[in-house]
Each structure stands twice: as C-alpha cells, then as structure tokens.
Amino acid sequence: MLNAASSSRLPWFESLFTWMPWDFNVALPAPVTGLLLVLGTLYARSVYSGNDTSKIYQLGGFSIVNAWTFFNKRYDFLRSNFDKTGHELFAFKVLHYQVVAMSGEDARKTFFNEKRLSFAKGYQLFMGGNPDLKDIKMEAEIEESIELGAFIKRLLKIFRKDRLQDVMPTMFADINGRMEILGAEGKINPFKDIYDLVFQLTVRMTTCEELATDLRMIERMNDLYWKLEKSSTPASLLLPWFPSTARKDKDEATKSLYDILSHYVDLRRKAEEPNSDAIDLLIADGADNVTIVSFVLNIIFAGTVNTGMLASWTLVQLGVNNEWKNKAIAEIQNLLTTYPTNSHDPIHQRLSAIPMTAWEDEMPIIECVTRETLRTIGNGTALRRNLVDDLQVGGKTIDKGAFMAYNLGDVHMNHKYYPDPHKFDPNRFNTAEENSHQGNVPFLGWGTGRHPCAGIKVAKFEIKIILALFLSCYEYELVDPSGKPLKRSPQPDRNDIQKNRPIGEPCFLQYRRTKE
C-alpha cells in the first residue's frame, strides 16, 4: 500500500537536451550556440569518462540532468541506465547527495532486509525534504523505530477485523450510492471515478461519520489532495527553497487539509457520547490533533494512490479478459450461495452480510487476479537511506549517508521470474495464501522483508468489495473514447507515480446495470 507504482516507455535520454522544458527549434545567437557546444562537449566527455572498477559505477553527465530525469521519468531513467552500464549498481547525484540504484538478487535481499537502512529517511529527500547530518546518526534509527511502532499500533487499532465487519454495511452503502448516481448505463473513467470512490471509502474508515457523509467536503478534500500531489514537481523537489507556484500550492493545500480534519477532530472531542469511529478511537488513545491529522492524512494518501490504482487497473484488466471476469463473478455468486440472505434484499445488503473471514479467506480467484494486476502495474521505486555504517553489496561499498533506490520491475518485469512478463496471467499465482511464491519466485507488490505493507488487509478488503458489487450489478467492457471495444488492456505509464494511468489515449468502462 505504501509503494507507488509506475510504465515502460522508450529510454528517455535520446539527446543532450531532451529533458529541458523549452524548444530548441529556434535560431540562437552565436555566443549562446558556442556555449551550448562547449557544455555539450564537457557533458559528453563526462558521460564517457572512465570509472574505477573497484567502486560503484558513477553516472557521468550533469548531475541536474540525472536528478531531473530521476524525478520526472524514474522508471525509464533506472531501466535505461541499467541497460547502458551493464552493472547491477550505479550511482548518481541528487543535489549533493549520493544515490545508488540497485538491481539483482543480492542487492534486493540487502535492500529489503538490512536493518541499518531507513525507510522514512529514504523518502525524505525525494519528498522535498532537506536531510541534515543528524539523520545519519544512530539516534535517528531509534527515533524512527519508535515513530513507526506508534503508527502501526494506531493502524491496527482502527483496522481491527471486528471494526471492519461493523463498518462493512456502511461501506457497501457508500459504493451503492455512487453507483446509483451513475444510472442504468453509460461509461466511466476508472482512473477518476474509482479513485474518487476509494478516497471516500478510506475517509469513511479513518475519520468520522460527520465527515464521511458530507460528500461536498469529501470532494473538497479530494481536490486538495490532488493539488498537493501535483505540486510535487521536479523543480519543487530539487529547489524546495524557491518560492514557486508549486511550493505555494503545496503549502495552501496542506494547511487547508489540516484545517478541515482538525475541525472534525474538535467536533468529536466535544461530542456528548464517543463512538467507534476512527477519530474517536484515536482521541481515546490520548492522541492530540496534530498526531491524529497527520496519521489520517498518511492513511488517506497511501490508500488513495495505491488502492485506487489497483482497483482501477483490476477492473480494466477484467474488461478485456472475459474468462477471468466470469470466474470472478462465479466466485462472488458462490459466496452469496454459501452465506445465504434474503434474496429480495438489494445486492449490496446481501453482500454486506457475508462475514469478514470469507472476504479474507474464500476468494482465491480474485486474489490471483489482483495479485497479477499488481505485478504488472506495481513497478514503482522503493527508497532507503544508509544510516549507520558503510555497507557492502556485491563487493562494492555504499557509503554511510547514501540514498538507495530499488525498482520493483527488477523482479516483476523479469523474464527469469515471470516468463512473458507483460502478459496478464493470474494462473501464475495459484494460492490465496499471503507471502506465498510460485515456487521460489519473489513477489514485492505488498512489501517484503522488514517493511511489509501494514495496511494490506484493509486494502484488499476495499478492492474486493468494489469488485464484488460492480461485477454483481453490471455488464461492462473496456472501450476507447469513441466507445469502440478494446481487445487488449493498455500498458501502464510506469513513470506516472501518482495514478499509473495508461499510455496514450484514455480508456473507459462502458457499463449496463443488470441487477439492483
């Protein structure tokens, strides 16, 4: 749930200035042309200069070019440079910080299992933070462990199985309410409408009834969230001190989101009777407003990006794979037969009566489908920072203080582990048991090693109930903007770390309601 995903394009670096945000198809003054030629010559010399074979391969070129492209086209940058260098490790600079890109089995095991690597500090620089020297002291690791432990404790408190069972009817009612707005037939953009639905469900589970039922406020929060996401531009991350429009948007969106959530926390503090809503549970636990708001925003952000992405792409994949769509529908119908309810009740009420244990343990087909979907689209880049000592990987030294980057496509798009990796084939996963592999094949979609996904159960639950109600109520197919059916799923843009949308023109789900 905390891993953002991203898709394949051609290698980004076709020429020296392809990264620059202006057009060079104009006549330039002679001094400018001369300067560009000098810079180009210096750049080319640095690109092709020798490297010490006893050390990690250092990318040449201007560091700002490497850093810009790492932020802007991360998947292409990593894959193309692994291909060009032929090394399993290479290094480059972001500002004055060293970043080591890693691939291969040994590097993967170290990256995900080495206790000296910091998860939180790894993302600090890449979220616009400015790491300082105290970050690489042991105290930072201890502080991070305490903070992470407190976060996980709160997460487990609000996502208890009994609480999810209690809130299930309301969540199904939320989904059904959105579906009623859609009408009997039409088409939706899954990368807008399904994301909005996931946002609402996540707000439902992490805040309070007063906010969860205020659709206008949820829409306002949703808009602010995407405003905040879009403010994370390469310029704002590389130049966080610069008073840019993106920086202003980020500050305004952050303050507005805090004010909204803090208002509802105060509202619940003043309530005559506490209830079982998430905010009430956190208040009872002694958390202050800042802690509660920070926690809720972290969950909403992670849930919306990752759960929304997976739910959207699963519906897209099933829209062009009738065999698996029919298997999934049969599995849902089997649950309704196994746990019978009044057949005259609306379908969302019948589904909401199925026990939580069945949603977790009795849906192997949908488990395989979502797992394979996550494999094909879940190719984001995980980040760490080496906090304590110099680290040996593959006979090379990663310095203390260095940042590290590992792209999940190193496994998920690897022919060694997954033959014909771009093919959608849920048969690769023949068990619903979590942490299982097909033989010894690694799967990183839900985290691994020291950082498995803490919200895996609730993420899967959200996706399953969305799929269950959508597949039970609609016949649908995947179409292009003109309404023409598509025969195959589009490829995801793995450089789009926010929504992982398809490359090229948008696609839609064209639906017809068949059951109330």
Distance separating alpha carbons of residues 460 and 194, to the nearest angstrom: 15
Query: In the block, which residue shows the tokens 């039922």?
Result: 213
H helix count then E strand count, the chain: 21, 13
Q: At a CB cut-off of 8 Å and minimum separation 6, what does 401 contact?
A: 97, 98, 135, 136, 385, 386, 387
Q: Check the annotation: does 368 bind a ligand.
A: no
Inter-CA distances, 380 with 284, 299, 375, 497, Å:
37, 19, 11, 7
392 φ, ψ (degrees, to nearest 5): -95, 125
* Tokens (6 digits) for 8: 């394949």
Q: What residues pair up with 121 in beta bridges, in sequence order? A: none
413's torsion region: left (phi>0), alpha (psi -120 to 50) or beta?
alpha
Distance separating alpha carbons of residues 182 and 187, to the nearest angstrom: 8
Distance separating alpha carbons of residues 126 and 121, to the nearest angstrom: 9
Inter-CA distances, 314 with 104, 211, 370, 470, 514, Å:
28, 28, 6, 12, 20
183 φ, ψ (degrees, to nearest 5): 85, -170
Closest CA to 425 of 460, 485, 470, 376: 376
Ordered DSSP codes for 301-335:
HHIIIIIHHHHHHHHHHHHT-HHHHHHHHHHHHHH
Q: Which amino acids are annotated as binding site for heme, given as ranges?
A: 453
Q: Which amino acids are annotated as binding site, given as ranges?
A: 453
